[in-house]
Amino acid sequence: MKVRIIRDECVSCGTCVDTCPDFFELGEEDTLSQVVERYRNDGKRDEGSVPPDLEEAVREAADLCPVQVILLE
C-alpha cells in the first residue's frame, strides 16, 4: 500500500502521528504531516510505502484525518 499526503492542505492537528507514529511525523520546520524517513519513496516527504504490519494503523489515520489529505493507493 502506498500513501500520499497533500501537505499543503494539512492542518497540523497531529492525529495521524498520534494514530501511527511509526509512519507519520510532523515536519520540524513546517509542522505539516510527513512520512518518516525510512518509509519514504525516493526521499519524498509526502509519499511513502506502508509495510504490511502498519497498514491497519495507516488506514485508521487516513480515516481520522479531519481534512482527508492522506490518500491511500
Query: Which positions touch ligand SF4 (CB under 6 A)?
Result: 5, 10-16, 33, 65-67, 69-70
DSSP annotation string for 22-54: TTEEE-TTT--EEE-GGGBSTT-TTEEE--GGG
Nearer Cβ to ligand SF4 (13/36) = 13
Of 27 and 51, the one with the shorter C-beta distance to ligand SF4 is 27
Minimum distance from residue 52 beta carbon to ligand SF4 (Å): 21
Report d(CA 45, CA 73) in Å as an integer: 16
Residue with cell 506502508: 50
54 or 69: whose CB is closer to ligand SF4?
69
